[in-house]
Amino acid sequence: MGRDSTRLSIQVKTMLALETSCDETAVAILRGRELLASEIASQIAEHEKHGGIVPEIASRNHLVHAPRLLEGATRKAKIEMKNVDACAATSGPGLASSLMIGASIAKGLATGLRKPYLAINHLEGHLLSPFFGDRDVNPNVSLIVSGGHTMLLRVDGLADYQLIGRTVDDAAGEAFDKVAKMLGFGYPGGPEIEKRAHNGDPNRFNLPRSMLDSENFSFSGLKTAVRYLLPKLEGDYVDDLCASFQQAIVDVLVRKTIAAAQKSDVDLVTVSGGVSCNGELRRQLSNACARHGCEFKCAETWLCTDNAAMIAFAALLRLQAGFESKVTEEIDPNLALA
């Protein structure tokens, strides 16, 4: 596929999609570019008391929530299941016990309705989410940054992705959550750190920025630096520590993303994934793109966390491009994007 804009004029087809890669149960119905329904059941309250995701609890709750969400989505969309043109589900990466629930339901529906089934990579859902509803997927450098993943990819079109760099240890979102736990915050910890950082001094603590000259990422050392620093601190330091920690992550993400865009010779940078909800990351990356003559495009915040709308969108683009999956296709908890 060439480097010119890939024209993807979305046909008026109706896609039903499920997303159960981790602890969010989600169902969406997309007709062409119109999102008819997007239903999500959060499990944050149940996992918060455990300090993180418990796979058994997550999968059990998917079984409880999915039928209700399916009924609610079709009712809200005012559509009968027989009028759906295809069914899709996240097939990886994610928790095996969670992925199995959504994929099994979508496969069963597709088989019963005699409609196509599409197995969608969760990361492709994130990668395409900044273009949600658009007719074009233009060449870009994509930063996907979430609780489980931090990666940079060169995108030349649908299904044409080249990995530039990825984390070698903790993802950025994982580092946020682990540092938040050290500070006694709840789960997930990223939003609370961002909130506290708003009133803090990002220059008070000199925290490490690892692997700045590499295309890959590493946030484990930053997390460890905070752990060793905490016993030495007294007084009112939490806001400043949150601001300094957040800035260290933002500095690395922005620097590497801009460097990748310049090396790849593209003039569009996109960002997606749960951590891309962080306002400071969006602001500083947008400003850096403007300084270097790049267009900046980010997914709307409601599309950044796990949802089925992005899975439906990716599936619809793939369907009209001629892709289809076999219902015998297995889930893959370690599914690679590129």
Strands 117-121 and 136-137: unpaired
Question: What secondary structure does DSSP assign to 274-289, as a single string?
Answer: GGGG-HHHHHHHHHHH
Claim to verify: residue 269 and residue 158 sit in the same structural domain: yes
Claim to verify: residue 149 and residue 285 sit in the same structural domain: yes
Which SS3 state, helix, strand or coil, does residue 152 take? Answer: strand
> Within a domain: residue 329?
no
CA angle 177/337/63 to nearest 5° reads 60
What does each C-alpha distance from 248 to 134, 154, 212 come to in angstroms? 33, 24, 11
Residue 4: pLDDT over 50:
no
Claim to verify: residue 279 and residue 160 sit in the same structural domain: yes
**Model confidence over 33-75: pLDDT tens digits?**
999 999 999 876 676 666 777 888 889 989 999 999 999 999 9
Q: What is the pLDDT of residue 3?
A: 40
The model carries a pTM of 0.93
Claim to verify: residue 112 and residue 205 sit in the same structural domain: no
Claim to verify: residue 101 and residue 228 sit in the same structural domain: no
Nearest C-alpha neighbor of 314 from the set 40, 123, 175: 123
**pLDDT-based confidence at residue 114 (cuts at 50, 70, 90):** very high
294 burial via Cβ count (<10 Å: 0-12, 13-18, 19+):
buried
- For residue 111, the tally of other CB atoms under 10 A from its CB is 12
Residue 303: pLDDT over 70:
yes
**pLDDT-based confidence at residue 7 (cuts at 50, 70, 90):** very low
Claim to verify: residue 112 and residue 249 sit in the same structural domain: no
Element housing 235 (H / E) = none
Nearest C-alpha neighbor of 194 from the set 210, 211, 172, 212: 172
* Token pair recorded at residue 6: 């890939």
Beta-carbon contacts of residue 107 (< 8 Å; ≥ 6 apart):
87, 89, 117, 327
d(CA 289, CA 297) in angstroms, rounded, equals 10
- Let me know: does 251 contact 209? Beta carbons within 8 Å: yes
Claim to verify: residue 191 and residue 281 sit in the same structural domain: yes
| Number of independent structural domains in the chain | 2
**Model confidence over 220-274: pLDDT tens digits?**
999 999 999 999 999 999 999 999 999 999 999 999 999 999 999 999 999 999 9
Claim to verify: residue 202 and residue 241 sit in the same structural domain: yes
Claim to verify: residue 154 and residue 290 sit in the same structural domain: yes
Claim to verify: residue 102 and residue 143 sit in the same structural domain: no
> Within a domain: residue 247?
yes
Element housing 225 (H / E) = helix 220-229
Q: What is the pLDDT of residue 44?
A: 67
Instruction: Output 182-191 pairs: Cβ under 8 A, ≥24 positions apart.
Output: 182/226, 182/227, 182/230, 183/230, 183/238, 183/241, 183/242, 186/48, 187/44, 187/47, 187/48, 187/51, 187/52, 188/44, 188/147, 188/274, 190/147, 190/274, 190/275, 190/277, 190/278, 191/277
Say which residue, 2 or 81, is predicted with more confidence: 81
CATH of the domain at 179: 3.30.420.40
- Domain housing 17: 6-132+305-320
**Model confidence over 91-102: pLDDT tens digits?**
999 999 999 999
> Within a domain: residue 331?
no
> Within a domain: residue 26?
yes
Q: Determine what percent of the chain is predicted with pLDDT higher than 90.
A: 87
Claim to verify: residue 50 and residue 102 sit in the same structural domain: yes
φ, ψ (nearest 5 deg) of residue 105: -65, -45
Q: What is the pLDDT of residue 57?
A: 84
- Let me know: does 118 contact 324? Beta carbons within 8 Å: yes
**Model confidence over 269-300: pLDDT tens digits?**
999 999 999 999 999 999 999 999 999 999 99
Claim to verify: residue 155 and residue 116 sit in the same structural domain: no
Residue 326: pLDDT over 70:
yes
* Token pair recorded at residue 204: 């008070």
Residue 25: pLDDT over 50:
yes
> Within a domain: residue 16?
yes
> Within a domain: residue 49?
yes
Q: What is the pLDDT of residue 27?
A: 98
> Within a domain: residue 326?
no
Query: What residue type is assigned to position 217 of the chain?
Result: F
d(CA 315, CA 90) in angstroms, rounded, equals 10
d(CA 75, CA 37) in angstroms, rounded, equals 9
Nearest C-alpha neighbor of 144 from the set 168, 158, 163, 118: 163
> Within a domain: residue 121?
yes
